[in-house]
A and B are shown apart, each in its own frame.
Chain A
Amino acid sequence: MSTATETIEGLVKQEYKYGFVTDVETESAPPGLNEDIIRLISAKKQEPEWMTEWRLKAYRHWTTMALPQWAHVHYPPVDYQDITYYSAPKQRGDGPKSLDEVDPKLLEMYEKLGIPLKERERLAGVAVDAVFDSVSVGTTFKKQLGEKGIIFCSFSEAVQEHPDLVRKYLGAVVPHTDNFYAALNSAVFTDGSFCYIPKGVRCPMELSTYFRINAAKSGQFERTLIVADEGASVSYLEGCTAPMRDENQLHAAVVELIALDRAEIKYSTVQNWYPGDENGKGGIYNFVTKRGLCKGRNSKISWTQVETGSAITWKYPSCILQGDHSVGEFYSVAVTNNCQQADTGTKMVHIGKNTRSTIVSKGISAGRGQNSYRGLVKIQKSAAHARNFSQCDSLLIGDRCGAHTFPYIEVKNTTASVEHEATTSKIGEDQIFYCNQRGISTQDAVNMIINGFCKEVFRELPMEFAVEAQKLLGVSLEGSVG
Chain B
Amino acid sequence: MSQQPILEIRSLSAGVEGRPILKGIDLVIRAGEVHAIMGPNGSGKSTLAAVLAGRDGYEVTGGQVLYDGKDLLDLDPEERAREGLFLAFQYPVEIPGVNSTYFLKAALNEVRKHKGQSELDAMEFLTLVKERMKILDLDDDLLKRSVNEGFSGGEKKRNEIFQMAVLEPRLAVLDETDSGLDIDALKVVSHGVNKLKRPDNAQLVITHYQRLLNYIVPDFVHVLVDGRIVRTGDKTLALELEEKGYDWIIKEAEAVAA
Residues of A within 8 A of B (CB): 2-4, 7, 425, 428-431, 433-442, 444, 448-449, 451-453, 455
Contact partner, A439, options B54, B97, B102, B114, Cβ 8 Å = B114
The CA of A435 and the CA of B163, in the complex, are separated in Å by 12
| Residues from chain B with Cβ under 8 Å of A442 in the complex | 78
Contact partner, A3, options B56, B76, B110, B147, Cβ 8 Å = B56
Contact A449 B163 (CB under 8 A): no
Contact B97 A431 (CB under 8 A): no
| Residues from chain B with Cβ under 8 Å of A428 in the complex | 93
Contact A436 B97 (CB under 8 A): no
Q: How near does chain A come to B113, taking the closest CB pair, in angstroms?
A: 9
| Residues from chain B with Cβ under 8 Å of A452 in the complex | 95-99, 146
The CA of A425 and the CA of B104, in the complex, are separated in Å by 23
Whether B186 is near chain A, meaning CB under 8 Å from some CB there, is no
Contact B110 A434 (CB under 8 A): no
Name which residue of chain A comes closest to B109, CB basis: A439
Of the candidate stretches B7-15, B33-41, B81-89, the one touching chain A is B81-89
The CA of A47 and the CA of B27, in the complex, are separated in Å by 85
Whether B130 is near chain A, meaning CB under 8 Å from some CB there, is no
Contact B110 A439 (CB under 8 A): yes
Contact B89 A434 (CB under 8 A): yes
Q: How near does chain B come to A94, taking the closest CB pair, in angstroms?
A: 53
Contact partner, B93, options A430, A440, A444, Cβ 8 Å = A430
- Further contacts, 5 of them, CB under 8 A, given A448-B102, A452-B98: A436-B81, A438-B107, A438-B110, A442-B78, A448-B95
| Residues from chain B with Cβ under 8 Å of A441 in the complex | 78, 110
Name which residue of chain A comes closest to B87, CB basis: A437
Contact A2 B107 (CB under 8 A): no
Contact A436 B103 (CB under 8 A): no
The CA of A431 and the CA of B94, in the complex, are separated in Å by 7
Contact A448 B106 (CB under 8 A): yes
Contact A455 B57 (CB under 8 A): no
Contact B95 A436 (CB under 8 A): no
| Residues from chain A with Cβ under 8 Å of B107 in the complex | 435, 438-440
Contact A433 B55 (CB under 8 A): yes
| Residues from chain A with Cβ under 8 Å of B104 in the complex | 438
Q: How near does chain A come to B84, taking the closest CB pair, in angstroms?
A: 10
The CA of A455 and the CA of B97, in the complex, are separated in Å by 8
Contact B95 A431 (CB under 8 A): yes
Contact B111 A439 (CB under 8 A): yes
Name which residue of chain B comes closest to A8, CB basis: B56
The CA of A389 and the CA of B184, in the complex, are separated in Å by 44
Nearest 4 pairs of A and B residues by beta carbon: A452-B97, A439-B110, A438-B107, A436-B77
Contact A440 B78 (CB under 8 A): yes
Contact A425 B81 (CB under 8 A): no
Q: How near does chain B come to A394, taking the closest CB pair, in angstroms?
A: 13
Contact B95 A434 (CB under 8 A): yes
Name which residue of chain A comes closest to B16, CB basis: A2
Contact A2 B57 (CB under 8 A): yes
- B40-55 to A contact mask, C-beta < 8 Å, 1/0: 0000000000000111
Name which residue of chain A comes closest to B114, CB basis: A439
| Residues from chain A with Cβ under 8 Å of B229 in the complex | none
The CA of A440 and the CA of B103, in the complex, are separated in Å by 9
Q: How near does chain A come to B73, taking the closest CB pair, in angstroms?
A: 15
The CA of A429 and the CA of B57, in the complex, are separated in Å by 10
Q: How near does chain B come to A398, taking the closest CB pair, in angstroms?
A: 14
| Residues from chain A with Cβ under 8 Å of B76 in the complex | 436
Query: What DSSP secondary structure best describes chain A's contact surface?
Result: helix
Contact A433 B56 (CB under 8 A): yes
The CA of A4 and the CA of B111, in the complex, are separated in Å by 24
Candidate in A2, A4, A438 with the most chain B CB atoms within 10 angstroms: A438
Contact B57 A4 (CB under 8 A): yes
Whether B65 is near chain A, meaning CB under 8 Å from some CB there, is no
| Residues from chain A with Cβ under 8 Å of B24 in the complex | none
Q: How many A-B residue pairs have CB under 8 A?
A: 84
Contact A434 B93 (CB under 8 A): yes
Whether B224 is near chain A, meaning CB under 8 Å from some CB there, is no
The CA of A445 and the CA of B147, in the complex, are separated in Å by 12
Contact A437 B57 (CB under 8 A): no
24 contacts between A and B (CB under 8 A): A3-B57, A425-B96, A428-B93, A430-B93, A431-B93, A433-B53, A435-B78, A436-B81, A437-B89, A438-B103, A438-B106, A438-B167, A439-B78, A439-B81, A439-B107, A439-B110, A439-B111, A441-B110, A444-B106, A448-B95, A448-B98, A448-B102, A452-B95, A453-B97
- B95-132 to A contact mask, C-beta < 8 Å, 1/0: 11111001110110011001000000000000000000
Name which residue of chain B comes closest to A433, CB basis: B55
Q: How near does chain B come to A20, taking the closest CB pair, in angstroms?
A: 33
Name which residue of chain A comes closest to B50, CB basis: A433
The CA of A352 and the CA of B96, in the complex, are separated in Å by 38
Q: How near does chain A come to B75, taking the closest CB pair, in angstroms?
A: 11
Q: How near does chain B come to A456, taking the closest CB pair, in angstroms?
A: 9
Contact B56 A429 (CB under 8 A): yes
| Residues from chain A with Cβ under 8 Å of B163 in the complex | 438
| Residues from chain B with Cβ under 8 Å of A4 in the complex | 56-57
Contact B95 A437 (CB under 8 A): no
Contact partner, B53, options A2, A430, A437, Cβ 8 Å = A437
Candidate in A4, A430, A433, A437 with the most chain B CB atoms within 10 angstroms: A437
| Residues from chain B with Cβ under 8 Å of A440 in the complex | 78, 103, 106-107, 110
| Residues from chain A with Cβ under 8 Å of B111 in the complex | 439
Contact B77 A437 (CB under 8 A): yes
| Residues from chain B with Cβ under 8 Å of A436 in the complex | 54, 76-78, 81
The CA of A467 and the CA of B69, in the complex, are separated in Å by 43
The CA of A453 and the CA of B53, in the complex, are separated in Å by 27
The CA of A441 and the CA of B54, in the complex, are separated in Å by 13
Q: Given A429-B56, A433-B55, do A449 and B78 touch, yes or no (CB 8 Å)?
A: no
The CA of A433 and the CA of B195, in the complex, are separated in Å by 27
The CA of A30 and the CA of B27, in the complex, are separated in Å by 78
Name which residue of chain A comes closest to B81, CB basis: A439
Contact B97 A449 (CB under 8 A): yes
Contact partner, B98, options A433, A437, A449, Cβ 8 Å = A449
The CA of A163 and the CA of B44, in the complex, are separated in Å by 79
Q: Given A7-B56, A437-B87, A440-B110, do A448 and B103 touch, yes or no (CB 8 Å)?
A: yes
Contact partner, B95, options A2, A435, A444, A455, Cβ 8 Å = A435
Contact A438 B81 (CB under 8 A): yes
The CA of A435 and the CA of B56, in the complex, are separated in Å by 13
The CA of A448 and the CA of B147, in the complex, are separated in Å by 11
The CA of A309 and the CA of B119, in the complex, are separated in Å by 34
The CA of A4 and the CA of B77, in the complex, are separated in Å by 13
| Residues from chain B with Cβ under 8 Å of A437 in the complex | 53, 77-78, 80-81, 86-87, 89
Name which residue of chain B comes closest to A442, CB basis: B78
Q: How near does chain A come to B56, taking the closest CB pair, in angstroms?
A: 5
